[in-house]
Every structure is written in structure tokens, then in C-alpha cells.
């Protein structure tokens, strides 16, 4: 179990066999009833009526909605999955807080378990993160060259879509960080975040290139030893920022 806390809010994420199976939050915005209301799955009238009954019976809200015939079990399952994703993905935007890890069995027998593959959680969480600049700074310099190092099975497990594959296709051992972010299918900030997700998932890695003499000319120098996968060197790119966006 991973427990993250910040400013009085505590979020817990339960992981088993490489999957997120459950998530909780003390923030009322993350509750199932708030999600159902904000997503439009519940009308204001149905929400008020079922909340009054819940206060009287103290039943779990999803169970009450099924018993009342307001939503089907399939609709509740989809809502719980989306709620779990929302809690987990929100943590990718936290830039400070405290984290605690614990090992043990998840024993809440009356809680619905949702299977979220970890590779998909990481990919989608990073895509939704707000601070692109902080992530891109961990990739290296703008001259850092990237090469692919994945297995096809990993692409399926991460559920990469067509635009993800288009950016991954730019990683060929010749293009630099600058090239990939500039030529990718999205804005530079989004391309940078996606490339960072690929590095975290160990689908790509940065490589150092031999420096050629100043007077030399010819093809791009050959690649040498790989740089550490989790490079934290500051990126030497001049950013023009607007909110959470940047450009080269």
C-alpha cells in the first residue's frame, strides 16, 4: 500500500501483483458520490434523495444506488473504476507531500476491487501531470539522443494508442530530445511528458554520443555507452512558459 499525504489530505493506493486494485481519499471531491454527481450520472434530484436515504440506512452508496434501481451494477463498476483512476492520477500532479509504504494483505472484503495495470497507470498518470517542465528536465540535455529498448509485449501491456506509437516511432537512436519534442504529434510539452513516460517504463533510454572535433564534418557521431536511465541532469533548453505549457 502507498499512502500519500499533503495539507491534511490522505490518499491510499493498494497494489497487488502489478495492478492497482483499490484507492481511497479523504478529499470529498474524490468520493464516489461526488464523482457520480459531477460526471452527470446522477441527476440533482436523484442525488439528494439517495443521500437522504444513505444518512438513514448508512449503506454503502454504490449498493444503495443498485438496490434503488438508480444505476445498474455495470454502471457502478465503471464509476468505481473511473473514481479509482481519478484518485491515482491526481497523485502525479503532487510536487510535495509525504509518502509511506507498507506491505500486507488487502482485507476489506466489502470493497470492490478494480484491476488497473501498473504500466497503464504510469503512462496515463504522467500524461495527465501538470508540470511538464519538471519531467522533461529529467530526460537530459536537448542534445541527448534516445534509442528504443522495448519488447512488443510491453507496448500492448501499456495500451499505447496511435499517437503514442507515432512519438515512439521517432525514437531511433539518431534523434535528440529537441528533435523528438519538436517533431512529435502533440505540443512540445505533451511530447516531452510522453517521452518521459517511455523512459520511466524503460521503453527508451538516453545515450551519449561521441563529440566530434570543431572542424570535422560528416554524419552524426556514433553512439557509445548508454546514459543512466534515470538521468537528473538539468535540461539546457530555453522554455517559453504559459501556464503548464512550454515551447522550445
DSSP string, 184-203: SSS-HHHHHHHHHHHHHTTS
pLDDT for the residue 224:
44
Check: CB of residue 61 under 8 Å from CB of residue 46.
no
pLDDT for the residue 95:
86
H runs (alpha helix) in the chain: 32-38, 44-57, 61-67, 73-90, 118-128, 132-136, 152-158, 162-168, 177-183, 188-200
How far CA 168 is from CA of 93, 105, 132, 181, 202, in Å, comes to 23, 37, 18, 11, 12
Residue 122: φ, ψ to 5°:
-65, -45
Per-residue pLDDT tens digits for 13-53: 999 888 999 999 999 889 888 889 888 888 888 888 888 88
SS3 call for 178: helix
The whole-angstrom separation of Cα 85 and Cα 94 is: 15
Q: Which one-letter DSSP state was computed for residue 22? A: E
Mean pLDDT of the chain: 84
- Cβ density class 69-98: b for 16+ within 10 Å, e for less: ebbeeeebeebbeebbbbbbbbbbebeeee
Which pTM does this prediction carry? 0.74
Per-residue pLDDT tens digits for 85-107: 999 999 998 989 999 998 877 66
pLDDT for the residue 225:
46
Q: What is the average pLDDT across 111-131?
A: 91
Domain extents in the chain: 2-114, 130-247
Output 58 or 179, whichever has higher pLDDT.
179
Amino acid at each position: 500500500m502507498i499512502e500519500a499525504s499533503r495539507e491534511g489530505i490522505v490518499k491510499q493506493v493498494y497494489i497487488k501483483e502489478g495492478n492497482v486494485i483499490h484507492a481511497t481519499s479523504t478529499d470529498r471531491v474524490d468520493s464516489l458520490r461526488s464523482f457520480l454527481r459531477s460526471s452527470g450520472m446522477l441527476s440533482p434530484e436523484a442525488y439528494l434523495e439517495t443521500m437522504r436515504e444513505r444518512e438513514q440506512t448508512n449503506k454503502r452508496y454504490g449498493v444503495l444506488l443498485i438496490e434503488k434501481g438508480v444505476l445498474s451494477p455495470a454502471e457502478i463498476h465503471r464509476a468505481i473504476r473511473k473514481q479509482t483512476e481519478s484518485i491515482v492520477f491526481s497523485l502525479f500532479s503532487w510536487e510535495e507531500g509525504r509518502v509511506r509504504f507498507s506491505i500486507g494483505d488487502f482485507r476489506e472484503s466489502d470493497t470492490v476491487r478494480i484491476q488497473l495495470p501498473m504500466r497503464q497507470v504510469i503512462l496515463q498518470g504522467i500524461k495527465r501531470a501538470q508540470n511538464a517542465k519538471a519531467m522533461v528536465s529529467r530526460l537530459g540535455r536537448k542534445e541527448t539522443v534516445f534509442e528504443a529498448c522495448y519488447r512488443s509485449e510491453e507496448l500492448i501491456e501499456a495500451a499505447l494508442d496511435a499517437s503514442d506509437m507515432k512519438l515512439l516511432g521517432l525514437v531511433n537512436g539518431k534523434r535528440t530530445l529537441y528533435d523528438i519534442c519538436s517533431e512529435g504529434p502533440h505540443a512540445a510539452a505533451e511530447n516531452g511528458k510522453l517521452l518521459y513516460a517511455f523512459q520511466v517504463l524503460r521503453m527508451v533510454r538516453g545515450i551519449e554520443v561521441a563529440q566530434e572535433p570543431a572542424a570535422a564534418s560528416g554524419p552524426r557521431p556514433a553512439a557509445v555507452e548508454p546514459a543512466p536511465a534515470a538521468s537528473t541532469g538539468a535540461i539546457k533548453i530555453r522554455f517559453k512558459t504559459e501556464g503548464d505549457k512550454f515551447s522550445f
